[in-house]
A and B are shown apart, each in its own frame.
Chain A
Amino acid sequence: MAKGTKSYSAFMNFLRTPTPTLIGIFILIILLFSLTSENFLTIQNIKGIFNNFAVFGILAAGITIVMIGGGFDLAIGSTAGLAGIVSAVLLMENIMIPTVLVFIIAVIIGCSVGLINGLIITKVGINPIITTLGTLAFFRGVCYFWADLNPRIYNEFVQSLGRIYIGNVFPITTVYIIVAFIILSLILKFTRFGRDLFTIGGNESLARLAGIPVDRIKIISYVISGFFCSIAGLLLISQLGSGRPEYGTGAELEVLTIVVLGGVAVGGGKGNYLGVFIALVIIQTISNGMVLLDVPVFLRMVVKGALLVLVISIDALRNRKQLQLY
């Protein structure tokens, strides 16, 4: 009986999160697209949808951690681009470096960018958005050091990283995302780090007074984000088969939309990976549906921006604690 009430209250808590609304929206969108386009509900197309969101999903995994802690990371696109192009250059045939070492270097690059962001934000005390706006531009510039090399990926292992389908239907990249989301959810729920992160996002000065090492945990969250950026960079060069300095440009807009739609509060302290995953599928389905419906490429940009504004407005209305007077 006691167990029953507990699961009942857990169910009620789940109903209070934005996730059920998301599922509703998702069903509506699928109905809409499958009625308007006959190619939407084909295995080929669904395969495409799932394989396309690999990079955004991995980036969303990292930024969710940062945003739950009340931080922000606009530099994800640039970090992924940097890790991608450096590994692509290292994988060029005339440089004989073992593939494992390339991966390690990519991860080190991602983590150090995250560390730099975290150190500037916590130790100097700058607004995270401004900091990562600066590093966004900076590291994008660094990417262009290798602009003339134009590396191609011939390494079969790296190619297969983002292109394998399990049973010829289910892309392996989706497995990566699900594994990453599950591990991160468990970390958030069952470790001290996760609970501290929620506390910091909810009320930072309170967390400081409670003796939580706020700076350290925030820095770790940015390093985690940097780590996932490097994985996303590797996936990018794997799926596209080459390294270009502009890879990942504008990813922050898309990922931000996904994460906020998924119910991660902009000020921090709220968020779960189930919501983010559903939002990821929704946003990718919308992108895909716009392609099928022949929406002009530039109009898609407007729709994406409008979607972000809409999602953020809903988030602001939902998280408004009291009547806003000023």
Chain B
Amino acid sequence: MADARSTEAVSRKKIKLNNTAILFIILIVLFCVFSYVGRPFFFSRLNLIPMINNLSFIGIIAAVLTMVMVSGEIDFSIGGNVGLTACLTALLLERGVPGWLVVIIALAAGAAMGSFNGMLVTVIGVNSIIATIGTMFIWRGIGYTLTNGESILAMNPVIDYIGRGFVFKVLPFPIILLVLTFVITYIIMNHSKWGRKIYAIGANPLASYLSGINVKKVKFTAFLFCGIAASLGGLILTSLSAVGMPQHGQGLELVIVSAIILGGTALGGGRGQILGTLAGVLILSILYNFLTIMNVYYFYIQMVQGAVLILVVSAYEIRQSRIKRSV
């Protein structure tokens, strides 16, 4: 009995390792191909630094959203959250609020938005997909109302540093934030009790409840973190573009959810790896960056994003049903 369980665990670990490893191999191959096809623009400092900066704010949100998705829920309101945070930041800076205070207020606003989503899902019991589609429009609408649809200049030493600063004059600051987020979420998901609880809830909420896990509390916390991460992403985006506008982060949910699913997180919850999400974010970022470099019209990139989402989910779904059939 114990033997069977351990071999099962080993084989499962192998599959997981393979999945993420395959993704990283795909990533390297794609990177080489793109560097060759898109020469001389793709593999140049002028392209790679902005790409990495862009990727970092997507990655930060994706890492934390992975936790929400592993717990079996989803948050579509991240894009709206980014937009509202950007507007809020720019407006506060315009009023002369000091930079560090703006950062704190922005993150607190993100926490408030995240906990509102969490309340809807856990206390009232709304389907998280539809609830967060609704809140997505609310956040973005508030952003539009606050700024009256205009974009507002956001210049401040602290805010500038978040997206465009360099640590030791080499490392872009967003990259540090990205790495930190991934390290923290990796430790949480793989080496903490709370992370284990998230996996358990995603796999079987009833069983988790019966074994004494406070399911609602854990889910609520995941949503809270997701809101904070999204507003951090909003701060980075505001800093990168030096402007706060309500359109910031439009369509972000499509890219991020596809990246997470590409990384191997199951839609229904219970399965998913932080490293897989990292690979997914990297692959999709270089893909969309490559399309931009190749001068593809924006709306066709949107088309590709939609197709990628469906293809990725289909691929995993078909594979999953094959595994089930073979067992």
Contacts and interface: CB of A to CB of B under 8 A. Distances in A.
B148 A138 contact: no
B141 A298 contact: yes
B115 to A, nearest CB: 14
B125 interface: yes
A298 B138 contact: no
B299 A144 contact: yes
B126 A313 contact: yes
Chain B at the A interface: SS class: helix
A311 B318 CA distance: 35
Nearest to B130: A312
A126 interface: yes
A120 B313 CA distance: 10
B103 to A, nearest CB: 25
Contacts of B130: 129, 256, 260, 266, 308, 312
B148 A298 contact: yes
A316 B126 contact: yes
Nearest to B316: A126
Interface in B120-144: 120, 124-127, 129-131, 133-138, 140-142, 144
Nearest to A296: B145
Contact of A326 (B145, B209, B317, B318): B209
Given A124-B314, A253-B137, A312-B134, A133 B309 contact: yes
A320 B123 CA distance: 12
Nearest to B201: A326
A286 to B, nearest CB: 15
B144 A301 contact: yes
Nearest to B76: A133
Interface string B66-77: 000000000000
B263 to A, nearest CB: 15
A116 to B, nearest CB: 9
Nearest to A306: B138
B106 to A, nearest CB: 19
Contact of A130 (B131, B205, B309): B309
B141 A302 contact: yes
Interface in A139-189: 139-144, 147
A141 to B, nearest CB: 3
A312 B131 contact: yes
A298 B150 CA distance: 11
Contact of B313 (A126, A245, A309, A324): A126
Nearest to A245: B299
A317 B254 contact: no
A308 B267 contact: no
A326 B149 contact: no
B295 interface: no
Nearest to B299: A144
B35 interface: no
A134 interface: yes
A124 B267 CA distance: 14
A138 B140 contact: no
A308 B303 contact: no
Contacts of A326: 201, 205-206, 208-209, 215-216
A138 B308 CA distance: 9
Given A136-B306, A304-B137, A325 B209 contact: yes
Interface in A265-300: 266-267, 296, 298-300
A130 B314 CA distance: 11
A36 interface: no
Contacts of B314: 120, 124, 126
Contacts of A245: 299
A79 interface: no
B206 A138 contact: no
Given A144-B297, A266-B127, 10 more contacts: A125-B317, A134-B307, A134-B313, A143-B299, A300-B141, A301-B140, A303-B141, A305-B135, A305-B138, A326-B201
Closest 8 CB pairs of A and B: A141-B303, A137-B306, A305-B137, A138-B306, A301-B141, A302-B141, A298-B144, A144-B299
Interface of A: 120, 124-127, 129-131, 133-144, 147, 245, 253, 256, 260, 266-267, 296, 298-306, 308-309, 312-313, 315-317, 320, 324-326
